[in-house]
Structures are given as C-alpha cells and as structure tokens.
Amino acid sequence: MKKKGIDLSTYQKEVDWQKVKDAGITFAILRAGFGNSANQQDAMFETHMKGALAVGLPVGVYWFSYARSVEEARKEAKACLSVIEPYKARLTYPVFFDFEYDSATYAEKAGVKVDARYVTDVTKAFCETVVAAGYRAGYYTNQDYYKHKLYPDELTDYDLWLADYTGGPAYPCAIQQVTSTGDVNGVTGHVDLNTCFVSYEEKAANGAVTGTCTGSGVRIRKEPHTAAKVLGTANKGDKLELLDDDGWGWSKVKTGNVTGWMYNAYVKGPGRSRPKTVTCNGTAVNLRKEPSTGAKVIRQLNKGDKVTLVSINPDGWLDVAGGYLFYDKSYLTIT
C-alpha cells in the first residue's frame, strides 16, 4: 500500500504536526544535518523530530553530504549517528545519504573527479557505517545521478529514495519524492512530498519474517529484476527468510547459503507486495519475445490494454507477463 509522506529541513520552520497528520501524511523524513561535524546539525531537527514523534508519525532522517573523499563520507556518517543516537529506538524509516549537485560542486572545487565510481564509493562508505551502527541505510538521488553518477547494482543492500517528478518512478525505489512544491495543511510554505512503496512500519514491528517458495527452479537474483545475475534457485516448499520487499513485487530472501531477490509470484509469506500493472496509452505497441527491437513480435498492445509487470530492467525494457516492452512513458504507464 502506498503511503504519503513529507521531508523537511531548516527551511520549514512552522509546522503544526497534528494538522499534518490529519491531512493524511503518514511519515516524515527529517534532515539531521550536513557535513562531517555533529555541530552542523540541522537547526530544526530536534523540533521536527519531537513534533513528529509526539503525534505518532513514523520518521526517518537524511544527511546532506559535502564529502571530498571516502574517509570524509565515513566521518559524515559518524556525525549523523551522533546527532540521531538519542532517537535510535524511535526511527522507523532509514538513515539516508544525500549527495546532490551542490555536493558534487563542493568536491570538484577540491580537485575531486566526481564520476560514478566516486559517488558510488562515498555512498557505500556512508551506508556501511550506518548499517554497522545498527540502522537501516538508504541513499537519495535523482534520475540523472541514478543513470550517470552511480553504479546502482553495487548499492542493492541500501534503500533507494528517488527524486522523480515525472509521474510513476522511472526506476524501482522504496520511496519516490514526487514534488518539491507540495502544499500540506499544517506546514507553512511549500514542502517536499513523497510516496513510499515499502512497509517500514511492518518491518519494525515484525522483525524476522519467514515464508515458503511456491514454484520449482525459481531463480534467486542479485538484484530485483530479471536481467540480474542468477545466484541460485529455490524449489516448492523451500523455507525462505524474508529480508525485504521492494514494493514492486520482489522479495529479498535467504535460503540455505544463498541471499538474493525472488519474484513474489513464487513467494508465500506476509507483507509481500503485489506486481504492478502496465497500461498501454498508445496504439500498435510491440510486445516482443526478447528485450530487443529485432526480436519477434508476439502481439501488439493498444490503448487500454493491460499486462502484469515482472520487472523494470536497466536496459530500458519491461519484463511483463508474456514478453517484453520497451519502456516509454509517453505510451506506457505503470501503476
């Protein structure tokens, strides 16, 4: 089930949290601070944290990065951990690493080459430090950085918070920031709005969750999509430790000595997300046998036709029930 949330920082100084909750907001992600010192705590962090918790809203935090090295990213994580430590038992949502264009500009002025290798490495350094301290970690980025400044396949242990204001998220993510100019009763001025696809509240309440495999030879993959490397297989009746759910129809599971992602059509267990639906808004859209424009056309979809989504693959193709579709938002919608 999708949940509506907001993220705030020092720029939102007047917040009536009861009105925010009554307006249908179900979670908040708060900026804890920035840089590599706990002295750079966000000026409104304590106020926002206490206000959100007082009305029973689940919360997470983010830390804005100015890291100029992997070591500085680790220092930033430690600064963040110092600030949020009093609230460790109260955090339901992850601790997010926030590296943006201003972060890159700051690093480049120090002579750093800010490429995909660098951004991935500082993200991993921050998240690894956070996880080692007993928190759930994630990273915030936009579509441009996701495509050109990161190696997402190296970050699958961490939750993606994606800024995507174009409609349905372009990539599977735990949380989608949908606008920076939202209006919510109880917040003076504009505020960022977010949609969460993952039940962090359930994860916090349930702890370890188990399930079973319902198919034979079901592939367990490195990432939650069908183009990812196969790490092993599971068979009908195999016990699964359910470690995560991406909100898009895939579960991170552990069975035996294999840990990876399985399509939920073959996973029986509590809290599993359902596959999304792809709706055609065009005419004569080719459904192909393989993810290639040269592959055989199985049939054509027309306006209003719907198919079940299996996964969004990094090559720009959708794996759907019955074949593959090239993903173009102008004629395909995912809901």
Contact of 17 with 186, CB cutoff 8 Å: yes
Tell which of 165, 181, 204 closes a domain.
Answer: 204
Last residue of a domain, one of 158, 180, 204: 204
Quick one: pLDDT at residue 207?
57
Q: What angle do CA 94, 99, 105 make, to 5 degrees?
A: 165
> What's the pLDDT at 208?
58
What does the pLDDT read at residue 315? 85
Query: What is the extent of the structural domain holding 321?
Result: 277-334
pLDDT of residue 205: 60
User: pLDDT for 254-286, tens place per residue?
Assistant: 998 899 999 999 998 877 888 899 999 999 999
Provide the pLDDT for residue 83: 97
One domain for residues 143 and 72:
yes
Q: Which pLDDT belongs to residue 272?
A: 84
The pLDDT assigned to 245 comes to 83
* Structural domains of the chain, count: 3
Confidence (pLDDT) at 204: 64
Do both 177 and 196 map to the same domain? yes
- Domain containing 292 — which CATH number? 2.30.30.40
Question: What CA–CA distance (Å, rounded) separates 103 from 125?
Answer: 15
The confidence score (pLDDT) of residue 220 equals 97
- Rounded to 10 deg, the angle between the 116-132 and 70-84 helix axes is 40
Q: Residue 311: which of 268, 266, 280, 278 has the closest Cα?
A: 278
Same structural domain for residues 23 and 134? yes
Q: Which residues of the chain have pLDDT under 50?
A: none
Q: What confidence score (pLDDT) does residue 132 get?
A: 87
